[in-house]
């Protein structure tokens, strides 16, 4: 259900003393307030076990904004006065009764029309319990709408995700559940649909007759930081591929929806995820490469990051050849790769077009420069089209040229952070950029097949150096198909 553009709302954050709240949620709510997307009639209730007071919580909120926003134009204290804190144990039902009282008071004070967002910024093992406690203690029975925002990871595999979904669905309807995938809030990820469906020159060529392969990279310079416990149970496949990487593949591969509504877009994405070719256990080596970083030019190896990681066989890198068995994409590999402690931070999509049948200018095949459409998602935002043109001067020699568009340069503004957009979408009831259960389910089925196959053999880790571009086997994955990874820096 889509509601008005500037509704009044109370946002309840479970896990308000944690890292995500501090780094992403408070600054995003601040920017929405600063940009006039939310008015004065809003309140935020922070919940966690620590015995903080309202004042101390507000100080923490101001600190987090000072750390992330160099340019704040409004009175921070006035903004922070909308924040309230309750010491809360999510497993204790008396906490919920107390919370209901606080929400009723705030709803009177701020005229928030009974609209409530419950944001679960907590470890996933609590998601089901919290959803049920909210329902059983009557917190959904306000006069306005209620929405539940759930952070990743949504399950550990298909079976656990399904069990979690069933549990949450006892308390909330699908249209009240907002499963966050923050990549769907990134400006250039949202731009994929526009680039495809608003440009005849691309969409007519967007198929297996004209595209030879598509490469999707999300490389990070960071390691596991403070999240070793979570990450070691997860690994790059669950942490990045099941969600962000497959979501980008779905947006690149989907058919044009008949309308730009959440339901129609989702239905097209689901069709792509259903068409992913499941990797057979005996063929996993042909399709996927896993890696773990060892010591290298930028520091220590994964196994030295924390005492509990000494013997870890968790993958910090994955590269894969994803095949979509449908009419449009038969035979076109979508290569994906993601990893920690790599050489560069870069999120980039490269669409490589097939060469023309008889190239008069590049007779030597090895010297050809295929046309590329590069979608730069981060750190730069924009697109670059790689073409060939005549080299100036005498003679008729072709040379590669680039046409570039940089998002920030044209709009003259910093694009909003992903979380800022997604929180706003949730406030206005737009589910387009949240993942529906069907998408989650098919994505898990796909990565489960890979993980099951891997679980049968012990990897030879570490196999790439911290600060490199990943294991050599990931290069061979493309070389055997006659391709190579395009550079992720210009």
Ligand X SMILES: NC(=O)C1=CN([C@@H]2O[C@H](COP(=O)(O)OP(=O)(O)OC[C@H]3O[C@@H](n4cnc5c(N)ncnc54)[C@H](OP(=O)(O)O)[C@@H]3O)[C@@H](O)[C@H]2O)C=CC1
Ligand Y SMILES: O=C1O[C@H](COP(=O)(O)O)[C@@H](O)[C@H](O)[C@H]1O
Q: How far is the CB of 44 from ligand Y (least distance, A)?
A: 23
* Given 9, 45, 48, 284, the residue binding ligand X (CB under 6 A): 48
The partner in contact with residue 443, picked from ligand X, ligand Y, none with C-beta cut-offs of 5 to 8 angstroms by kind, is none
Closest by CA position to 377, among listed 218, 215, 199: 218
> Distance between CA 84 and CA 393 in Å, rounded?
69
The partner in contact with residue 123, picked from ligand Y, ligand X, none with C-beta cut-offs of 5 to 8 angstroms by kind, is ligand X
CB 345 within 8 A of CB 264: no
Altogether, the residues listed in the chain come to a count of 490
Q: Are strands 293-294 and 464-465 parallel, antiparallel or unpaired?
A: parallel
Establish if 19 lies at the interface with ligand X (CB under 6 A).
yes
Q: Is 140 labelled a binding residue?
A: no
3-class secondary structure, 375: strand
The partner in contact with residue 220, picked from ligand Y, ligand X, none with C-beta cut-offs of 5 to 8 angstroms by kind, is ligand Y
Give the residue nearest to ligand X (CB): 18
Count of residues engaged in binding ligand X, rule: CB under 6 A: 21
Establish if 90 lies at the interface with ligand X (CB under 6 A).
yes
What interhelical angle do 158-171 and 437-454 show, nearest 10? Answer: 160
Q: Per the residue annotation, which of 82, 156, 204, 244 is the catalytic one?
A: 244
- Dihedral angle of Cα 428, 437, 25, 416, to the nearest 10 degrees: -60
CA 224 to chain centre: 17
Q: How far is the CB of 358 from ligand X (least distance, A)?
A: 50
- From residue 173 to residue 212, the character string flagging contacts with ligand X as x (rule: CB under 6 A) and all else as - is ----------------------------------------
The partner in contact with residue 215, picked from ligand Y, ligand X, none with C-beta cut-offs of 5 to 8 angstroms by kind, is none
Q: What is the DSSP secondary structure assignment for residue 96, as one 8-state letter?
A: H
Alpha helices in 81-121 (DSSP H): 93-110
Query: In this complex, which beta carbon is closest to ligand Y, that of residue 30 or of residue 183?
Result: 183
Establish if 49 lies at the interface with ligand X (CB under 6 A).
yes
Q: How far is the CB of 225 from ligand Y (least distance, A)?
A: 8
Q: How far is the CB of 84 from ligand Y (least distance, A)?
A: 28
- From residue 151 to residue 170, the character string flagging contacts with ligand X as x (rule: CB under 6 A) and all else as - is xxx-----------------
**30 exposure class (CB count in 10 Å sphere: 0-12, 13-18, 19+):** buried
- From residue 389 to residue 418, the character string flagging contacts with ligand X as x (rule: CB under 6 A) and all else as - is ------------------------------
The partner in contact with residue 17, picked from ligand X, ligand Y, none with C-beta cut-offs of 5 to 8 angstroms by kind, is ligand X
Sign of CA dihedral 418, 422, 428, 432: positive
In 49-173, beta strands by DSSP E: 83-87, 116-120, 146-150
- Transcribe 231-300 into DSSP letters: HHHHHHIIIIIIIIIHHHHHHHHPPPPSSSSHHHHHHHHHHHHHTBPPPPGGGHHHHEEEE-EESBTTB-
The partner in contact with residue 2, picked from ligand Y, ligand X, none with C-beta cut-offs of 5 to 8 angstroms by kind, is none
Q: Listing from the earlier edge strand, what are the strands of the sheet with 146-150?
A: 83-87, 42-48, 9-14, 116-120, 146-150, 177-179
Establish if 225 lies at the interface with ligand X (CB under 6 A).
no
Establish if 91 lies at the interface with ligand X (CB under 6 A).
yes
Q: Is 387 labelled a binding residue?
A: no
The partner in contact with residue 370, picked from ligand Y, ligand X, none with C-beta cut-offs of 5 to 8 angstroms by kind, is none
* Given 40, 55, 89, 402, the residue binding ligand X (CB under 6 A): 89
Biggest CA pair distance of the chain: 84
Residue pointed to by tokens 């409004």 = 74
Q: Would you call 158 a catalytic residue per the annotation?
A: no
3-class secondary structure, 47: strand
* Given 12, 80, 121, 275, the residue binding ligand X (CB under 6 A): 121
Interface residue list for ligand Y (CB under 6 A):
218, 220, 239, 347
Q: How far is the CB of 239 from ligand Y (least distance, A)?
A: 5
How many other C-beta atoms can be found within 10 angstroms of the C-beta atom of residue 185?
22
Query: In this complex, which beta carbon is closest to ligand X, that of residue 164 or of residue 309?
Result: 164
Q: Is 382 labelled a binding residue?
A: no
Give the residue nearest to ligand Y (CB): 239
Establish if 124 lies at the interface with ligand X (CB under 6 A).
yes
Binding-site residue numbers for substrate are 182, 186, 220, 239, 340, 345
The set of catalytic residues is 244
Binding site for ligand X (CB under 6 A): 15-20, 48-50, 88-91, 121-124, 151-153, 230
């Amino acid at each position: 259900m889509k509601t008005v553009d500037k509704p009044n709302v109370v946002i309840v954050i479970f896990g308000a003393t944690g890292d995500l709240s501090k780094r992403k949620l408070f600054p995003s709510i601040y920017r929405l307030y600063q940009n006039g997307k939310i008015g004065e009639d809003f309140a935020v209730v922070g919940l966690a076990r620590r015995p903080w007071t309202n004042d101390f919580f507000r100080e923490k909120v101001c600190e987090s904004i000072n750390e992330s926003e160099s340019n704040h134009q409004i009175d921070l204290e006035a903004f922070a006065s909308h924040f309230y804190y309750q010491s809360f144990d999510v497993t204790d039902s008396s906490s919920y009764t107390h919370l209901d009282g606080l929400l009723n008071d705030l709803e009177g004070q701020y005229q928030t029309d009974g609209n409530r967002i419950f944001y679960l910024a907590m470890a996933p093992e609590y998601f089901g319990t919290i959803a049920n406690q909210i329902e059983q203690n009557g917190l959904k029975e306000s006069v306005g709408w209620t929405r539940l925002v759930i952070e990743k990871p949504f399950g550990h595999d298909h079976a656990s995700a399904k069990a979690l979904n069933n549990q949450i669905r006892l308390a909330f309807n699908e249209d009240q559940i907002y499963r966050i995938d923050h990549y769907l809030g990134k400006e250039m990820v949202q731009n994929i649909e526009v680039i495809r469906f608003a440009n005849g020159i691309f969409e007519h060529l967007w198929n297996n007759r004209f595209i030879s392969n598509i490469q999707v990279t999300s490389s990070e310079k960071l390691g596991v930081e403070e999240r070793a416990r979570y990450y070691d149970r997860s690994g790059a496949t669950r942490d990045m591929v099941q969600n962000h990487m497959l979501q980008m593949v779905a947006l690149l591969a989907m058919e044009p929806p008949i309308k730009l509504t959440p339901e129609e877009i989702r239905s097209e994405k689901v069709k792509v995820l259903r068409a992913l070719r499941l990797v057979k256990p005996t063929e996993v080596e042909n399709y996927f490469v896993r890696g773990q970083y060892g010591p290298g030019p930028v520091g220590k190896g994964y196994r030295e990051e924390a005492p509990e990681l000494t013997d870890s066989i968790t993958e910090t890198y994955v590269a894969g050849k994803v095949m979509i068995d449908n009419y449009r994409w038969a035979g076109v590999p979508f290569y994906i790769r993601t990893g920690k402690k790599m050489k560069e931070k870069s999120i980039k999509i490269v669409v490589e077009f097939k060469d023309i049948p008889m190239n008069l200018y590049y007779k030597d095949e090895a010297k050809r420069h295929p046309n590329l459409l590069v979608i730069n998602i981060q750190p730069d935002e924009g697109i670059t089209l790689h073409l060939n043109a005549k080299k100036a001067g005498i003679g008729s020699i072709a040379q590669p040229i680039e046409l570039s568009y940089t998002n920030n340069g044209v709009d003259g503004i910093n694009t909003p952070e992903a979380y800022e957009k997604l929180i706003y979408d949730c406030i206005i009831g737009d589910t387009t950029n949240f993942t529906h259960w069907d998408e989650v389910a098919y994505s898990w089925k796909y990565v489960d097949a890979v993980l099951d196959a891997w679980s049968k053999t012990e990897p030879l880790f570490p196999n790439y150096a911290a600060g490199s571009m990943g294991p050599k086997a990931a290069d061979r994955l493309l070389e055997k198909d006659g391709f190579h990874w395009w550079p992720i820096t210009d």
